[in-house]
């Protein structure tokens, strides 16, 4: 059984992959791919993370990265920071 504050391994891996893909896509100027990865990461966070500060931070970070597009560098920075919130 996982602690309420723990992120299940599969959820952590999914979020890390999605946020890394979003960061890479944003940096490369591939806005549709970045948007899709960020939308999916936000959905995973909403549905799979336990309620609390971590879920709120991840959802906020995904939204901030989406809002930053088409500025790829800024969106990538938000996605990277959000990935760090997943592992804290």
pLDDT in tens, 1-39: 344 467 889 999 999 999 999 999 999 999 999 999 999
pLDDT in tens, 38-79: 999 999 999 999 999 999 999 999 999 999 999 999 999 999
What is the DSSP annotation of the chain? ---TTSPPHHHHHHHHHHHHHHHHHHHTT-HHHHHHHHHHHHHHHHHHSPTTHHHHHHHHHHHHHHHHTT-HHHHHHHHHHHHHHHH-
Provide the whole-model pTM. 0.91
């Amino acid at each position: 059984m996982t602690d309420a504050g723990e992120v299940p391994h599969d959820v952590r891996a999914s979020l890390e992959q999605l946020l890394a893909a979003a960061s890479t896509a944003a940096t490369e100027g591939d806005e549709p791919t970045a948007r899709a990865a960020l939308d999916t990461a936000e959905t995973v966070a909403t549905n799979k993370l336990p309620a609390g500060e971590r879920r709120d931070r991840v959802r906020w970070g995904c939204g901030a990265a989406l809002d930053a597009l088409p500025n790829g560098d800024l969106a990538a920075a938000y996605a990277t920071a959000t990935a760090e919130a997943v592992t804290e």
